[in-house]
Chain A
């Protein structure tokens, strides 16, 4: 257990040894901050003047915070594959995976360690994004329940991205292929949601399968155990596949 934690910590630190994590975070914060400003503008110019006339007007949290978290999720669709490709594919290309394989570690420890490292990074991303709505609390009252459920939703969504990326990274020896296939899979699941929820051709199954459909209730402030279970299964499934793949590597070379 302590080894899993140490691997995770080292993976997390190594992300920041290269400019990759820094630049991704910087670009993400820049873009989300611009969106954040746009949402505030919208709220101040259009929503607020009308809200006096409405019986149950949408609050600051609905107009600003929920869309912000949704955009963060969409943005990470593209960012996550770049981070997860490093986990196994890049190590395999640089031949550094041998270090972990020939150390007294189980495949489970290696996979969980690497995943936990990504979880640390995801927690950092969510915490940084949280700072923006928190800054609003200086001037207005916020719906804290909704903010925290949004944050939890984003955390789980990104966790599912990381697990899928980790598995696809474990089956390829070229980082670019790992990144592209991860991006493809994640986007496919979003498209599944879009096509499943379209008016002409709706499909409950498609909507259920998509990781995005389970994210949206969190933004509404709805905590549904079925959504939690979905993410749990999604993450566990891909991690188990990755563990099996590592074990299998020894057999197939």
Chain B
């Protein structure tokens, strides 16, 4: 990838709390116009990573560059390029939405002449115009969350970092916030942390899974989709016959057949599914096809595999995870 396109590059981040290793050797890269999902179970080190990226916490070792600026060398300039929504929206409950956003605009170096328009457009994007003059304390959790997002995008930062932005929201609000994040991805780069899998699938281009402080998976959804079509069909038949295995194996393009139960087989194809061949075979032999399911590796399966080690980690994932991170 083009180096100039890199908005965030964190290398070998380590963070030790006392004698507990919270984040260990995490590398993270965010390109322009990309939405990166940081995924992991509770306590995996997602928030700690984000706190380090936003300059709230110094890494024990490692380097963070935001838009080419080192976070340690020039924290002010680096922070100017970031909009950050922590786990709890940092809103002053005794201010009105508008007052609060004006204050944030001042803190973020938005020139005085542009503050009003910056606040207006942030409120518009987060649908806050109706509550502009209400006290934040009187707003519902969902609106407070939106105020939090508004303060993160107010100064039009290159990188928006959102820590679990949809926690505690109702399904409609979740949908709206996801839509907003998707929209943000058009002209900002976004890092999003969550432990909700569908959320990542809904809004992210790329996913990085962190477990126990380590990156265990990092790939784009395109790559993931390609792997998903690594074509395996699960077929089962009503009838039983001895030559089923052999017949399936001799079909055109089939690379491997595994028995997965009584008259049930996992049929692996070389490059793509050919379900038509199987239906034709079943018809010819009158085996009565009862199941024909494409087996794909979903994000959820990958996640479960990586986190709980239900099955061995596919070697391809391992290689690509380190390959991407390097």
Contacts and interface: CB of A to CB of B under 8 A. Distances in A.
A162 B94 CA distance: 22
Interface stretch (A89-97, A135-143, A221-229): A89-97
A120 to B, nearest CB: 16
Contact of B107 (A94, A95, A105, A250): A105
Contact of A95 (B79, B80, B86): B86
A104 B110 CA distance: 11
B145 interface: no
Interface stretch (B53-61, B196-204, B220-228, B298-306): B53-61
A97 B92 contact: no
A250 to B, nearest CB: 5
A106 B82 CA distance: 16
A92 to B, nearest CB: 11
B268 interface: no
Interface residues of A, number: 23
Nearest to B76: A104
Contacts of B107: 3, 6-7, 99-100, 103-105
A134 interface: no
A253 B109 CA distance: 26
A94 B91 CA distance: 9
Interface centre among B93, B107, B109, B151 (most CB of A within 10 A): B107
A202 interface: no
B94 A102 contact: no
Interface centre among A97, A101, A106 (most CB of B within 10 A): A101
B88 A101 contact: no
B54 A102 contact: yes
A106 to B, nearest CB: 7
Contacts of B108: 103-104
A237 B165 CA distance: 40
B95 A14 contact: yes
B104 interface: yes
A104 B56 contact: no
B17 A253 contact: yes
A251 interface: yes
Contacts of B94: 14, 17-18
A97 B57 CA distance: 13
Contacts of B48: 253
B120 to A, nearest CB: 20
Contacts of B95: 14, 17
A3 B48 CA distance: 28
Given A17-B95, A104-B79, A253-B17, A95 B90 contact: yes
Contacts of B91: 96
A50 interface: no
Given A10-B103, A102-B82, A95 B88 contact: yes
Interface in B46-93: 48, 51, 54-58, 75-77, 79-80, 82, 84, 86-88, 90-93
Nearest to B79: A104
Contacts of A97: 90
Given A17-B95, A99-B151, A6 B106 contact: yes
Interface of B: 15, 17, 48, 51, 54-58, 75-77, 79-80, 82, 84, 86-88, 90-95, 103-104, 106-109, 151
